[in-house]
Amino acid sequence: MANRLLAHEVSDLCLGKPPLSSIPVSATIRHALAALKSSDDTHISVWSCDLDHHSTTHDHCHCVGKICMVDIICYLCKEDNISSPSLALKAPVSVLLSPVPPGVVKHVDPSYSLLEAIDLIINGAQNLVVPIKNTTSKRKQLRQPTSLAPTTHAGGREYCWLTQEDVIRFLLSSIGLFSPTAAYSIESLGIIDTKILTINYHSPASKALAAISTSLSDQTSVAVIDDDGVLIGELSPFTLAYCDEMVAAAITTLSAGDLMAYIDCGGPPEDITKVVHARLKEKNLYGMLDEFLIYSSGIPYCNSTNSSSDEETVLSPATTRSGRYNRSDKFIMRRAEAIVCHPRSSLVAVMIQAIALRVSYVWVIEEDCTVVGIVKFSGILKVFQEHLESLID
């Protein structure tokens, strides 16, 4: 069984993965925004292509990065952009890619081994771009609108990408091979990262902007705590990714605690919406105010599939993401409540919890609810890497 697991290639993890949708690196941020709102995925791949049409190879196009709604929200919150969001959206999407470290998105061959994929992720890769077999004509008929078509290049080649979650989910399906390691506590395995991002509940949410951007790059979150270090909630990129871009107005005007309420499932309370409106006026941010009034009339919901069963709410398609329609029959929303475990929680329990809630991290708290650290997928993968390498030795 162990040898069979080690024999798996990246292509085995790609089975059933849909082809990537993409935008060109020359696209504007407004184009990227429209693409995100038309997609069921939280991220859109960005591609750069050699315009030599006489090329007969498949590799003259390259995925240079990825963007999500959080990238756009953080961009709009910048001082130069918050006063005129409509103008800011005319900028090229490449400005959103400049802060991203190289190697976050990496092309790999389908024959890469499972261990090689894990090694790449541990060393910073978040998305492994893999070529997939030509799709059938039936799939082509079911493609998304041309504004967000699957990435098809020379010879009809399409691509998918693998994430940390895909690899963790795959390993979880063979968790019995990792006994007794999987039953060890996260504390004993030494995978609790104490370097965490936090903001006080009463602090202006704008002070968390840099932390939100960092947490997006690190695939973690920002803990919202009280004066005693007790975990109250979080400002998670995983939740913000399902919001509309007008959350930028809320970040600019609200406290961290009020922002949690604003992005919580069910949409922002009316009183908080009024606060945002009034403070935009006070700050003379009339460009943002005009945009906010348009969106608030449709109530900017935050919709997410990152939800446990006791936190699920079904919305009609007409009430998602500021009134935009969604092709899914239903949407499940996640609250801004933090996902937690304890130092004595087992590795497998934390894995199941993270996979079930579709996040790549879990907060670690003590009995008094003070936050002591975070467990990330990258740390979990290091444990599996060491175990698998021991099988080879």
Q: What is the pLDDT of residues 350-392, one digit of tens each?
A: 999 999 999 999 999 999 999 999 999 999 999 999 998 887 7
The reported pLDDT for the residue numbered 331 is 37
DSSP 180: T
The reported pLDDT for the residue numbered 21 is 85
Mean pLDDT of 276-293: 92
Report the chain's mean pLDDT, rounded to a whole number.
83
Mean pLDDT of 2-24: 88
pLDDT category at 98 given cuts 50, 70, 90 is: confident
Question: Is pLDDT of 154 > 70?
Answer: no
**Cis, peptide link before residue 145, omega less than 30° from 0:** no
More confident residue, 393 or 108: 108
Question: Is pLDDT of 70 > 70?
Answer: yes
Question: Is pLDDT of 60 > 90?
Answer: no
The reported pLDDT for the residue numbered 328 is 39
pLDDT category at 152 given cuts 50, 70, 90 is: low
Q: DSSP string of 206-224?
A: GGGHHHHHHHHHHT--EEE
Question: Is pLDDT of 164 > 80?
Answer: yes
Mean pLDDT of 26-51: 90
* Residue-wise pLDDT tens digits, 247-284: 999 999 999 999 999 998 667 888 999 999 999 999 99
More confident residue, 231 or 317: 231
The reported pLDDT for the residue numbered 52 is 54
* Residue-wise pLDDT tens digits, 114-127: 999 999 999 999 99
The reported pLDDT for the residue numbered 297 is 65
271, 274, 278, 279 alpha-carbon torsion, rounded to 10°: 70
* Residue-wise pLDDT tens digits, 300-349: 445 443 333 333 333 333 333 333 324 333 334 455 678 999 999 999 99
The reported pLDDT for the residue numbered 327 is 30
Instruction: Please state, in angstroms and rounded to a whole number, the distance separating the CA atoms of residues 147 and 144.
Output: 8
Length of the chain: 393
- Residue 116: C-alpha distances to residues 7, 30, 48, 150, 385 (Å): 11, 37, 25, 27, 10
Instruction: Please state, in angstroms and rounded to a whole number, the distance separating the CA atoms of residues 69 and 63.
Output: 18
Mean pLDDT of 37-65: 76
More confident residue, 88 or 136: 88
Question: Is pLDDT of 292 > 60?
Answer: yes
Mean pLDDT of 203-220: 96
More confident residue, 1 or 258: 258
Question: Is pLDDT of 285 > 50?
Answer: yes
Highest mean pLDDT among 100-104, 158-162, 324-328, 343-347: 343-347
Mean pLDDT of 164-183: 94
pLDDT cut 70: percent of the chain above it:
79
Instruction: Please state, in angstroms and rounded to a whole number, the distance separating the CA atoms of residues 340 and 306.
Output: 14
Q: DSSP string of 216-260?
A: HHHT--EEEE-TT-BEEEEE-HHHHTTS-TTHHHHHHHSBHHHHH
| HSE-up of residue 132 (Cα within 13 Å, Cβ side) | 21
| Low-confidence winner among 18-22, 53-57, 136-140, 154-158 (lowest mean pLDDT) | 136-140
